[in-house]
Amino acid sequence: MATSRPRVVVIGAGFAGMHCVRRLKNEPVDVTVVDRGTSHLFQPLLYQCATGLLSEGAISSPIRHLTRRHKNLDVVLGEASDIDVDARELTVDRIDGSSFHLSYDHLVVAAGMRTAYRGNEAFAAHAPGMKTLDDALSIRRKIMAAFEMAETITDPEEQRSWLTFAVAGGGPTGVELAGQIREVATLALEREFDAIDPAQARVLLLHGGDRVLPSFSPKLSASAQRTLDELGVETHLGVHVTGVGENFVETTRKADGDKQTYPARTTLWTTGVEAVPFATTLARALGAEQDRGGRIPVGPDLSVPGHPDVFVCGDMSSYRDLAGVAEVAMQGGRHAGAVIAETVAGQTDRSPFKYRDLGTAAYIARRHAIVQSGPLQLSGFLGWVAWGVIHIAFLAGVRNRMGTVMTWGATLLTDSRRERAITYGDPETARQPYGR
């Protein structure tokens, strides 16, 4: 690409990154997108991939395909590992371990977040989070394999441990996962096993707060709780997960320190997120102080104070306590792109970021979802319809939208879930005999 025009480097092809490059599509700049993967992932539906409802292809779209009509854009597969602020140069690592350098005039960092274990990194070996496609496929493998294992186990206690699923975290991701596992057990797997009744699967939702979905109003939270109860999800409030092993999960009650251990072969972690490692590298280089979650504070124009050429958008930025949700990332990415376009055009005054809250939504079970947008609060069937419309509207690509609608329709009619294949992570592991 020619270097005579201003060079814009965007790190991350999530919601913030993609909306930034869309805003710059017709501007007189050269844009380079750097991402450690090849696809834009629609994270709000990741749990449906993890529970066999949607395929990974239904919720991801190739970055190069989405940007194929951007004449001023280049796509790079790599991961930013270092930055020289004075030279305005990034170090980018390739998948083979080699690295190269990228120069920039304007930098937009939208690298997102990763699962946080809050000092309990050992939990990761037995309790995967859900931020990537790899996480979703790992969770799918654990869930589907648990039922298969229980089918051939003769000891009742061990069988029950395989049919016990613990979900740590009562936010939207945890609630959606817990509900989906119960739907898999009671609908998708009905009449498919001989030795076990999948509907007997026990799903534990473990949450430290006094109600699930605390970001929603108490009314909607109560509605979601009723639906979870009807599904058969066991909700345990006011507890922290303090131990996770191959075959157990331990909780500690906040009020009195009472400990409880549950035999459970499948534990899933959705209790929080933290900034990716590059955020620390960037903060040190810029002299910025990260918050508790590793986010980087930004000014009204979403640039880092003292560094007008560096913008941080999406979940990785800290601005006026805005939540780390998709709509904040989309609007933030667009705003950063607009500020860069205005600067290139010679405008010196920068417009402040004004977030327009379009609301939040969470899926609880089929025909039951909650939606909150200002004074508008929907639950039950109306909430479910609104939830579906919102998610289809924001899915990337017409093909993904059409395919998802068809899959949802087929699932409602047949109760089946076709995406239940178990993968092993890599060919070498897959070719090894069990137990080796």
Point out the residues that are catalytic. 176
What letter would DSSP give residue 184? I
CA atoms within 13 A on the CB side of 224: 34
The tokens for 356 are 């327009």
Using CA atoms, how far apart are residues 272 and 169, in angstroms rounded to an integer? 8
What letter would DSSP give residue 30? E
Using DSSP bridges, classify how beta strands 113-115 and 106-109 pair: parallel, antiparallel or unpaired.
unpaired
354, 361 Cβ separation under 8 angstroms: no
Read off the amino acid at residue 234. E
Using CA atoms, how far apart are residues 298 and 10, in angstroms rounded to an integer? 16
104, 245 Cβ separation under 8 angstroms: no
35, 12 Cβ separation under 8 angstroms: yes
Using CA atoms, how far apart are residues 282 and 173, in angstroms rounded to an integer? 28
End-to-end CA distance of the chain: 50
3-state helix, strand, coil split of the chain in percent (to 5) is 35, 25, 40
Closest CA relative to residue 202, chosen from 220, 217, 181, 216: 181
